[in-house]
Structure 1
Amino acid sequence: MVFMCWSSNRLCYFDDRRRQHQRNQQRHSTEETRQENFTTMASSWSKISPIIPFCLLASCFFFNMSAVHASKISDRRAVNQTFHPEQELKKLKNIKARLRKSTNLPSRHFRHNFTLTSPSPDGDLIDCVLSHQQPAFDHPLLKGQKPLDPPERPKGVNPTSMIHEDFQLWSLSGNICPDGTIPIRRTREQDVLRASSVRRYGRKSTRHVRRDSSSNGHEHAVGYVSGDQYYGAKASINVWAPKVVNQYEFSLSQMWVISGSFGDDLNTIEAGWQVSPELYGDNYPRFFTYWTTDAYQATGCYNLLCSGFVQTNSRIAIGAAISPTSGYNGGQFDISLLIWKDPKHGNWWLEFGNGVLVGYWPSFLFTHLQNHASMVQFGGEVVNSRPSGSHTATQMGSGHFAGEGFGKASYFRNLQVVDWDNSLIPLSNLKVLADHPNCYDIQGGINNFWGNYFYYGGPGRNVRCP
C-alpha cells in the first residue's frame, strides 16, 4: 500500500514495504529524537500558506458557534417540551374522538384512483354506509328513524325527466354504492389537522353575511331577491376549477336560502360547488352543502360532518370532486340545484341534476327557516387573507370578469324561486351586488332562453385591485 501527502510543498511517498528493522529503529528512538522531529515538522508546517491557520481558526470559530446555536435550540426544545407534548396529546385525542364520531362502520369501501380531467386522482376514500347509520341519525331527534320517502316536487318540475348522471370522479370508473347505503367521503386525520382547530373542523369561519360590506375577508358577487316569503329556489351553475392561492382561502359558487336578522340568529341552507384546500386537501371543485342556525357560530357544518342533513341517494357523494369542468373558450358544464320546502312535513329537500334527490334538512334544525325564507341569494364567494399584504389572487368562478360573457365568465342561469303554492316561478326584482367590483364583478340580464341570469367572477388581484 502506498500513501502520499504534501509536506513543505514536496510530495512524499511512504512505502509500507519498508524493512522490518527500520520500523524497529523508529520505535526505539529516544524522546529527544521525537521532540526534534516534532520541532522539525512544526517548522515545516510554518512554511505553508497563511490561509491554512486562518481556516483552522475559522473552523474552530464556526464549530463553537454551531455548538452554541445547537445548545440554544436544545434549550428551546427543552422549554417547549414542558408544555407542548400535553397540548399535542390532547389535540390527538380530540382528533381521534372526532374521527370516531364522524365515521360509521361501512358496509364496504374502496379507494378511487381514476381521473378524467386532472393529472392525478382525487384520492378520496368512499365508504358505503347503511343509510340508517349515517351521521344525521346521531341527532337526538332522529335516533332510531330512517330516511323519509321522496316528497311532492314543486309544480313546474318534471319528474319523468329524471336521468342519473355520473359527474363525480369517484363514480366515473363504475364504482357505486348498493341500494340501502349512501356514499360518504371518509374523514382522515390529515383533514382534521388542516383545520384551525378540531372544534372548527367542517365549519365556516364566524362572520356576518351582509352584502353591503366585506367583513372578515369574505368577498362576494351575488344576485339576490328579498322582501317576500320564499319556499325554495332553483338555478343552473357552470362549474370551474378556480385557482386558490393558499389553504386558508376558498372559492365557491352556491345558492343561499336565508332567514333571520343577519345577526346571531341567522338561518341558512346552502348548496353548490367549492374549491377548499383546507377542507379537502386539494384544488378540485367539489359538490357541497352547508347549514347553520346561528350565523356560523356553533351549529351546522359542511356536508355530512355533523348530524343534520339526511342523505337518501346512493349514487352521489357530498364533498366529492365534480367532473368535467368548464373550459375557457371551451365546453361549458353546468349543474342544476333545487332546494324546496316539503309542504307536508316542512323539511327542506335538495335535488341535484335532472331530478335526482340527494336528501333533506329536517325542519327542526332551524328556527326562522321552520316557516319560510326571507331572502334567496345566488353567486360567488372567496376568502381574501391578503397574502403578502396585497389582495389575494384567488379566483372567483372562471377567474374572468363578467363582461367577457359566455364561454369565458362564470354564470348562473334559469333563476327561479318556489312560492307559497309550491310552484316554481321566475324571479322578480333581481338585484346584483359585488363587494369589490375591481376584483370580482357581476352583470345581470334576462332573455327567453335563460330566463333570469347573470355572469360573475374575476381574477382577484390585478392592476385595478392591488
Structure 2
Amino acid sequence: MDMKGYYSVSWTKHKKEPFFAVHHTTRQHKCIQENHVTPEQTTSSLNHSLKLAASTSKYTTTTTLPMLLPSFVSLLLLVTSISPTFSHPIPSNSRLQPLSHSHHNASNTLRPAAVLQKLRRINKPAVKTIKSPDGDLIDCVLSHHQPAFDHPYLKGQRPLDPPERPKGHTNGETVMESFQLWTDSGEACPGGTVPIRRTTEQDILRASSIRRFGRKPRRGVRRDSTGTGHEHAVVFVNGDQYYGAKASVNVWTPSVTDPYEFSLSQIWVIAGSFGNDLNTIEAGWQVSPELYGDNYPRFFTYWTTDAYQATGCYNLLCSGFVQTNNKIAIGAAISPRSIYNGRQFDIGLMVWKDPKHGHWWLEFGSGLLVGYWPAFLFSHLRTHASMVQFGGEIVNSRSRGYHTGTQMGSGHFAEEGFGKAAYFRNLQVVDWDNNLLPLSNIHQLADHSNCYDIRVGSNNVWGTYFYYGGPGRNVRCP
C-alpha cells in the first residue's frame, strides 16, 4: 500500500545504536496494513476492511423513548443505536459483538434502561457524523457540548486558548502530522466541533459492569501490581517537583490473549500517595478488547484523582478532559504500526502544566494540541506532580490457571534491541520554569522480569531511552 509519504526517516549513526529511526506521528485507523506486510496479510486485511465498510444495519430514528415492556426494550437495545437527539446507521460489525462471558451478559441485559441512560450521557448530539471504513462512527460535536462541559464547574464555558509551550520542545527532527482514515475521503469535522468516537451498546455490554464502563480497575499505579494482576516494565523519576513529561513512543500491536486483559504503553504524571488519594494523568496507546472490541492499538487518555475508585475515565467517556482539536479522535486506532525486523513507527506525546492557568495540556505529534485536563479535577496535581513514569503495563488475569500470554510492547524482550523490542526515546520532564529537561536519577522497575523486562540507555541521538516488553508466559514465566 502506498503510504503517501506519511512518515519520515531520520538517518543517524551511533555505536551500537539504531542506524535509522522512523519518527512518525501516525495516521489513526485500524484495518489498513503497512506497505511492508506480506501479500497474504494485505489481502486478508483488505477483504476485512471492505466487509466492514460495506456492512450497515437498519436504524431507528428516535427522540424519546416510549414506556415499553422491559423485554421489548431489551430487543430494541440489540438493534438500535441511541443518541440524545437522533441515530445513525451502525455497521453490522462482527468485532462489536458482546464477549461470551455469560455472567456479564446476563446482568447487563436485565438492565437495558441503565445502558440507554449511559449512552445518552456519553453520546452528544452531532452536527455531522462520519463513518470510517473500519466501522467506527465519528460524531462531530460542538466543542462546548462535549462531555467535559457536563461538569458543574465547566457548564456554560468554552475551551481555552492554547497555552505557552515548554521551552526547548523542538529537536530539529522532521515530523509528519497525524492523519486519520475517516478524513481520507475529504470528510472532516467542521471548525468549532470536536470528533468523538461513538459509543455503542456493544461497547457497554462488553464491560465488566455498566457502572464501571470506561474506567480502569481500582488499584495503585505500581506498588500493588502483584496483588491485582497488573504488571509493569517502567522507568520513573521522583523526589522533585515535575510540571510535565515528553517522549516518543514506539507503536506495536501486542497480542492480548484474554478479552478482559489489556496491554498499554504510556506516560504517567503522578501526585499523591499510593493510597486512596492518588492523582494521575495518563496518555499513550493501548490494546483493549473489552473497551474497543478489537485488537488494534489506539491512542488513549486517562485520569483519576482517587486511585481509580470513583473519579476519572478513559478518553471522553466522562466529564473531565476538554478537547480543543477537530482533527484527532481520542480512542481511534493508530496505523501504521511497527513490524518485527521492519520499519518502526512512533507517536510523540507531551503533557505539561500551563504556567498561566494551571491546567494540564496534551500534545500529540509535532505541535498538535489535543486538549487539557482542568486543574480543578485534581487535588495533588493542582500544584505539580511528584513522580513521572514511562513504560508498559499489562493485566495478568491468570484466567487459565497460569500466567497470561498477553504481550507487552512488541512481545519481545528488551535485549533484542532496535527493530525487535519496543522502545521509548527522548524522555524529558518539564520543570517549574516551563523548561524541558533530560531525566536525572532514573529508576527502573520490572515487576516480573522473566515475563517482561526493561533496559535503559542514553546517547546523543535518542537522549534517554529504553527498550522494554516481553511475551508473558514462557518457560521462565510459567
TM-score of the two chains, using structure 2 as the length reference: 0.76
Q: In structure 1, what is the equivalent of residue 433 of structure 2?
A: 421
Q: In structure 2, what is the equivalent of residue 396 of structure 1?
A: 408
Amino acid at match of 1:461: R
Equivalent-residue separation in structure 1 for 2:175 and 2:465 (angstroms):
24
Identify which of 438, 445, 452 aligns with 1:440: 452
Mapped pair 1:338 → 2:350: yes
Amino acid at match of 1:236: S
Identify which of 90, 93, 96 aligns with 2:116: 96
Query: Which residues of structure 2 form unaligned runs of 5+?
Result: 1-103
Q: What secondary structure does 2:400 align onto?
A: helix
- Cα deviation for residue 403 of structure 1 reads 0.1
Equivalent-residue separation in structure 1 for 2:396 and 2:274 (angstroms):
21
Equivalent-residue separation in structure 2 for 1:184 and 1:258 (angstroms):
26
Equivalent-residue separation in structure 2 for 1:147 and 1:428 (angstroms):
35
- Cα deviation for residue 172 of structure 1 reads 4.2
Alignment of 1:67-466 (within 5 A): 91-113=111-133, 121=134, 123-158=135-170, 165-211=177-223, 213-466=225-478
Equivalent-residue separation in structure 2 for 1:159 and 1:390 (angstroms):
45
Contact 1:167 1:322 (8 Å CA) reproduced: no
Task: Sort the Cα spacing of 1:229 and 1:134 in 2 relative to 1 into closer, same or farther, 3 A.
Answer: same
- Cα deviation for residue 417 of structure 1 reads 0.2
Please, which moves more after superposition, 202-211 or 254-263? Answer: 202-211
* Alignment deviations for residues 263-293 of structure 1 (CA, whole Å, 9 cap, x no partner): 0000000000000000000001000000000
Amino acid at match of 1:185: R
Number of aligned residue pairs: 375
Task: Sort the Cα spacing of 1:89 and 1:460 in 2 relative to 1 into closer, same or farther, 3 A.
Answer: closer
Structure whose alpha-carbon radius of gyration is higher: 1
Q: What secondary structure does 2:314 align onto?
A: coil
- Cα deviation for residue 246 of structure 1 reads 1.8
Amino acid at match of 2:378: F
Contact 1:211 1:435 (8 Å CA) reproduced: no
- Cα deviation for residue 175 of structure 1 reads 3.3
Equivalent-residue separation in structure 2 for 1:224 and 1:274 (angstroms):
19
Q: What secondary structure does 1:387 align onto?
A: coil
Contact 1:167 1:323 (8 Å CA) reproduced: no
Task: Sort the Cα spacing of 1:240 and 1:86 in 2 relative to 1 into closer, same or farther, 3 A.
Answer: closer
* Alignment deviations for residues 312-370 of structure 1 (CA, whole Å, 9 cap, x no partner): 00000000000110000000000110000001000000000001000000000000000
TM-score of the two chains, using structure 1 as the length reference: 0.78
Contact 1:287 1:322 (8 Å CA) reproduced: yes
* Alignment deviations for residues 382-407 of structure 1 (CA, whole Å, 9 cap, x no partner): 00011311110000000000000000
Equivalent-residue separation in structure 1 for 2:170 and 2:107 (angstroms):
55
Q: What secondary structure does 1:389 align onto?
A: coil
Contact 1:444 1:454 (8 Å CA) reproduced: yes
Amino acid at match of 2:456: G
Task: Sort the Cα spacing of 1:225 and 1:187 in 2 relative to 1 into closer, same or farther, 3 A.
Answer: same
Equivalent-residue separation in structure 2 for 1:372 and 1:437 (angstroms):
31
Higher helix share: 1
- Cα deviation for residue 209 of structure 1 reads 2.1
- Cα deviation for residue 111 of structure 1 reads 1.3
Query: Which residues of structure 1 form unaligned runs of 5+?
Result: 1-83, 114-120
* Alignment deviations for residues 206-240 of structure 1 (CA, whole Å, 9 cap, x no partner): 01223474221100000100000000000000100
Alignment of 1:8-27 (within 5 A): none
* Alignment deviations for residues 389-447 of structure 1 (CA, whole Å, 9 cap, x no partner): 11100000000000000000000000000000000000001111100000000000111
Amino acid at match of 1:406: F
Contact 2:119 2:201 (8 Å CA) reproduced: yes
Give % identity: 73
Task: Sort the Cα spacing of 1:247 and 1:174 in 2 relative to 1 into closer, same or farther, 3 A.
Answer: farther
Contact 1:169 1:320 (8 Å CA) reproduced: no
Task: Sort the Cα spacing of 1:273 and 1:387 in 2 relative to 1 into closer, same or farther, 3 A.
Answer: same
- Cα deviation for residue 110 of structure 1 reads 1.9
Equivalent-residue separation in structure 2 for 1:324 and 1:335 (angstroms):
11
Q: In structure 1, what is the equivalent of residue 72 of structure 2?
A: none
Please, which moves more after superposition, 302-311 or 166-175? Answer: 166-175
Contact 2:222 2:232 (8 Å CA) reproduced: no
Please, which moves more after superposition, 156-165 or 403-412? Answer: 156-165
Equivalent-residue separation in structure 2 for 1:215 and 1:461 (angstroms):
18
Task: Sort the Cα spacing of 1:88 and 1:260 in 2 relative to 1 into closer, same or farther, 3 A.
Answer: closer
- Cα deviation for residue 170 of structure 1 reads 3.1
- Cα deviation for residue 165 of structure 1 reads 2.1
Task: Sort the Cα spacing of 1:97 and 1:162 in 2 relative to 1 into closer, same or farther, 3 A.
Answer: farther
Task: Sort the Cα spacing of 1:94 and 1:181 in 2 relative to 1 into closer, same or farther, 3 A.
Answer: same
Contact 1:290 1:303 (8 Å CA) reproduced: yes
Contact 1:223 1:430 (8 Å CA) reproduced: yes
Equivalent-residue separation in structure 1 for 2:259 and 2:268 (angstroms):
24
Contact 1:440 1:456 (8 Å CA) reproduced: yes
Equivalent-residue separation in structure 2 for 1:460 and 1:336 (angstroms):
26
